[in-house]
């Protein structure tokens, strides 16, 4: 058990006080007792002189008068011969008494003229003080002894009374001293206790409660120092907290994933992006990373970085529902003494970057391929014609093919240019209120002849009261035209095309229904990609480049809208182009 400072002080003080008081009481008691017995001895000595004188003057009838005097002064008188025989005793028959030379007081008197002894009397069975005086005789030898005995009972009673007074007085004084001392000590130690409580509060993290000490001594100086320490600490911790908060916000909201582990591989920090990339549970903090992550590559990289004591950077493929590519940077954390304290991993998701790179390289490959095949064809026919030997009929046919291929090249280049133009000027469309019914009517007119040639009818199902939409009319016409063009190209003889306009929510819809060949469901998500064609040879035969839908989709997106597609193989397709109409009233 921890003993308090006050407890220790009061224990020492109490022991000291009690010890002092007991010493004082013992000293007083002893002095009083010694004093009392000394006085009794003096009285007995005086009486012995008188008794000796009496015995000498009346040797014959000493017995009776001595007895009377002895009774009067409550003192037993014994006269002893030089040989030790009892000649007279005031309380006993002398002849029956034994030799008294061996009594301590008699022996002392033989040696020095007088002797005193306090002991229990065998005859009277009580404690007595014996005083013996040797009577001077001839040649320095005692002529006999006078011995007086006085009961100490009354003396002891009186001593006991005084003892009681001394000890009870001492006890009261001790209690008073202890009470007063405890009060004073409490006053002295209370500020210390307060300081200790304040220090405890500081230790438990309470930096708000001020530290005050009500005293005007060294303890108050200590209190002031502690108070200064508290305010400084609060300021420092406040600044540290702000910095930590900023850092945490930065780490939490940065685009990369961050995971920090301690020296035991336990996760101490993880942000949302890292949680998403590594598929970590919400309670990942405080658990071992190797138990949470199944991507061996990442764990190996972290170990390698720890082993080599160097940062490592690597591109990794993370497993999961969908494959993700990340650039992982691992840095070991060391303190000033190069002691390892864990690692920090920064993961940057480069999946989209990779996809874009692939799209770009695919695009270049596709463009090269699309340009190469008509050029190869043109060169082949030109060489054949240059070599001569062709009939006029063949020459005409070859030239027609060359013309057709040249036209395809032109279409391709026109489409590529318009695609890049739309992408480039996305922010600067020449927007004006456009009537979508008008756009549909103009498309029907433009493609009317081509449709009629294939025995197709174009029906119009235009809604009335549609709002005008904010759009670039030429581009919108181009996008919608591409959809109608496809409906004509990928239709079947005797089929039909319906152009429909409608209002849906905050958007205006332009739909193209056809009863054509339809699109297999696996190709539906891909037909909007550049150069993607379901049936390459069929499209190419029709002079298609595979860019029409991609252009239409870009135009719709540039207007804040989009294109959706529903199709059933062998039955037909429905393309719906929607443009938000919210900004312009009808
Ligand atoms: N209405 C449709 N019915 C059936 N298939 C279609 C339809 N519209 C598009 N497709 C398929 O989608 C592919 C991509 O169409 P897209 O308009 O982008 O290219 P294209 O028509 O081949 O060439 P372009 O339009 O540049 O002349 C087409 O090749 C075709 O296979
Ligand atoms: Mg097309």
What mean pLDDT comes out for the span 225-247?
91
> Taking 80 as the threshold, does the pLDDT of residue 428 lie above it?
no
Residues 6+ apart with CB under 8 A from 368: none
Centre of ligand 1 to C-alpha 424, Å, is 24
What mean pLDDT comes out for the span 535-541?
78
Using a 6 Å cutoff on CB, does residue 402 contact ligand 1? no
Centre of ligand 1 to C-alpha 366, Å, is 16
pLDDT band, very low/low/confident/very high, at 501 (cuts 50, 70, 90): very high
CA–CA gap between residue 49 and residue 98 (Å, rounded): 24
What mean pLDDT comes out for the span 454-471?
93
Using a 6 Å cutoff on CB, does residue 529 contact ligand 1? no
| % of the chain with per-residue pLDDT over 70 | 97
Mutate-to-test residue for ligand 1 from 412, 490, 563, highest number of ligand atoms within 8 A of CB: 490
The more confidently predicted of residues 468 and 10 is 468
Express each pLDDT in 523-534 by its tens digit. Answer: 999 999 988 889
Using a 6 Å cutoff on CB, does residue 566 contact ligand 1? no
Express each pLDDT in 331-349 by its tens digit. Answer: 999 988 888 999 999 999 9
Q: Diameter of the chain by CA atoms?
A: 206
- Among all bound ligands, the one having the nearest atom to the CA of 531 is 1
Query: What is residue 540's predicted lDDT score, i.e. its pLDDT?
Result: 73
H-run or E-run covering 179:
helix 153-203
What mean pLDDT comes out for the span 403-429?
83
Atom of ligand 1 nearest to the CA of 512: 1
pTM score over 0.85 = no
Query: What is residue 271's predicted lDDT score, i.e. its pLDDT?
Result: 92
Express each pLDDT in 156-212 by its tens digit. Answer: 898 889 889 988 998 999 899 889 988 988 888 888 888 888 888 888 888 888 888
Structure tokens at 98: 């034994």
Using a 6 Å cutoff on CB, does residue 370 contact ligand 1? no
The tokens 């433009």 sit on which residue? 446
Express each pLDDT in 502-517 by its tens digit. Answer: 999 889 999 999 999 9
Among 109-113, 141-145, 291-295, 438-442, name the most confident range.
Answer: 438-442
Query: What is residue 584's predicted lDDT score, i.e. its pLDDT?
Result: 43
Residues 6+ apart with CB under 8 A from 367: 416, 531
Using a 6 Å cutoff on CB, does residue 547 contact ligand 1? yes
The more confidently predicted of residues 203 and 459 is 459
Atom of ligand 1 nearest to the CA of 539: 22
Express each pLDDT in 4-36 by its tens digit. Answer: 777 888 889 889 988 998 998 899 989 988 998
Express each pLDDT in 52-87 by its tens digit. Answer: 888 877 765 556 778 888 888 889 999 999 999 998
Q: For the chain, give the mean pLDDT.
A: 89
Query: What is residue 585's predicted lDDT score, i.e. its pLDDT?
Result: 37
Structure tokens at 586: 């009808």
> Taking 90 as the threshold, does the pLDDT of residue 312 lie above it?
yes
Dihedral sign from CA coordinates of 247, 253, 259, 261: positive
| % of the chain with per-residue pLDDT over 90 | 51
For the ranges 146-155, 186-195, 441-450, 543-552, the lowest mean pLDDT is seen at 186-195
Q: Which of 278, 282, 313 is nearest to 296 (CA)?
A: 278
Burial class (CB in 10 A: 0-12, 13-18, 19+), 275: middle
pLDDT band, very low/low/confident/very high, at 223 (cuts 50, 70, 90): confident
Dihedral sign from CA coordinates of 205, 210, 215, 221: positive
Residues 6+ apart with CB under 8 A from 520: 534, 569
Residues 6+ apart with CB under 8 A from 483: 512, 549, 552, 563, 575, 577
**Torsions phi, psi of 142, nearest 5?**
-70, 140
Query: Which residue's alpha carbon is at the smallest distance from atom 7 of ligand 1?
Result: 486
Using a 6 Å cutoff on CB, does residue 495 contact ligand 1? no
> Taking 70 as the threshold, does the pLDDT of residue 3 lie above it?
no
Quick count: other Cβ atoms within 10 Å of Cβ 203?
A: 8
Do 148 and 76 form a contact (C-beta atoms < 8 A)? yes
Query: What is residue 63's predicted lDDT score, i.e. its pLDDT?
Result: 64
Using a 6 Å cutoff on CB, does residue 170 contact ligand 1? no
CA–CA gap between residue 148 and residue 483 (Å, rounded): 155
Using a 6 Å cutoff on CB, does residue 481 contact ligand 1? no
Query: What is residue 104's predicted lDDT score, i.e. its pLDDT?
Result: 92
Mutate-to-test residue for ligand 1 from 514, 539, 568, 577, highest number of ligand atoms within 8 A of CB: 539
Centre of ligand 2 to C-alpha 496, Å, is 17
Query: What is residue 531's predicted lDDT score, i.e. its pLDDT?
Result: 87
């Amino acid at each position: 058990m921890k003993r308090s400072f006050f407890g220790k002080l009061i224990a020492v003080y109490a022991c000291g006080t009690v010890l002092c008081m007991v010493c004082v009481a013992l000293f007083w008691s002893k002095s009083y007792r010694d004093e009392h017995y000394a006085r009794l001895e003096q009285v007995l000595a005086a009486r012995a002189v008188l008794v000796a004188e009496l015995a000498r003057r009346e040797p014959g009838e000493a017995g009776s008068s001595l007895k009377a005097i002895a009774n009067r002064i409550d003192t037993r008188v014994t006269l002893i011969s030089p040989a030790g025989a009892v000649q007279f005793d005031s309380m006993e028959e002398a002849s029956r008494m034994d030799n008294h030379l061996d009594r301590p007081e008699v022996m002392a008197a033989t040696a020095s003229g007088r002797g005193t002894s306090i002991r229990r009397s065998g005859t009277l069975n009580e404690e007595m003080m014996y005083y013996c005086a040797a009577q001077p005789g001839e040649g320095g030898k005692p002529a006999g002894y006078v011995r007086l005995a006085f009961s100490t009972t009354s003396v002891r009673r009186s001593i006991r009374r005084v003892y009681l007074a001394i000890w009870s007085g001492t006890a009261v004084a001790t209690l008073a001293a202890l009470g007063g001392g405890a009060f004073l000590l409490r006053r002295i130690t209370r500020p210390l206790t307060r300081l200790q409580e304040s220090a405890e509060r500081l230790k438990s993290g309470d930096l708000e409660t001020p530290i005050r000490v009500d005293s005007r001594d060294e303890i108050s100086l200590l209190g002031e120092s502690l108070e200064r320490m508290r305010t400084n600490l609060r300021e420092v911790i406040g600044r540290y907290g702000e910095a930590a908060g900023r850092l945490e916000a930065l780490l939490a909201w940065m685009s990369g994933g961050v995971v920090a582990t301690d020296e035991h591989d336990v996760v101490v920090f993880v942000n949302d992006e890292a949680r998403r990339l590594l598929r970590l549970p919400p309670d990942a903090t405080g658990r071992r990373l190797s138990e949470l992550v199944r991507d061996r590559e990442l764990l190996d990289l972290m170990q390698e970085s720890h082993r080599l004591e160097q940062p490592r950077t690597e591109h990794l493929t993370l497993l999961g529902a969908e494959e993700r590519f990340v650039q992982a940077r691992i840095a070991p954390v060391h303190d000033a003494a190069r002691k390892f304290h864990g690692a920090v991993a920064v993961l940057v998701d480069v999946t989209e970057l990779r996809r874009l790179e692939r799209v770009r390289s695919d695009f270049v490959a596709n463009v090269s391929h699309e340009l190469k095949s008509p050029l190869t064809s043109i060169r082949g026919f030109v060489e054949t014609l240059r070599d001569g030997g062709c009939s006029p009929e063949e020459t005409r046919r070859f030239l027609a093919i060359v013309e057709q291929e040249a036209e395809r090249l032109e279409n391709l280049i026109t489409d590529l240019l318009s695609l890049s133009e739309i992408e480039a000027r996305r922010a600067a469309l020449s927007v004006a209120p456009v009537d979508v019914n008008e756009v549909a009517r103009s498309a029907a007119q433009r493609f009317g002849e081509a449709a009629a040639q294939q025995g197709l009818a174009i029906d119009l199902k235009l809604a009335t009261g549609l709002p005008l939409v904010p759009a670039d009319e030429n581009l919108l016409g181009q996008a919608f035209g591409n959809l109608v063009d496809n409906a004509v190209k990928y239709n079947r003889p005797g089929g039909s095309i319906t152009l429909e306009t409608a209002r849906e929510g905050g958007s205006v819809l332009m739909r193209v229904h056809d009863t054509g060949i339809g699109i297999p469901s696996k190709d539906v998500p891909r037909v909007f990609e550049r150069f993607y064609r379901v049936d390459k040879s069929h499209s190419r035969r029709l002079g298609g480049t595979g860019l029409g839908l991609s252009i239409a989709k870009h135009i719709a997106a540039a207007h804040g809208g989009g294109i959706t597609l529903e199709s059933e193989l062998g039955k037909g397709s429905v393309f719906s182009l929607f443009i938000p109409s919210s900004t312009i009233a009808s």
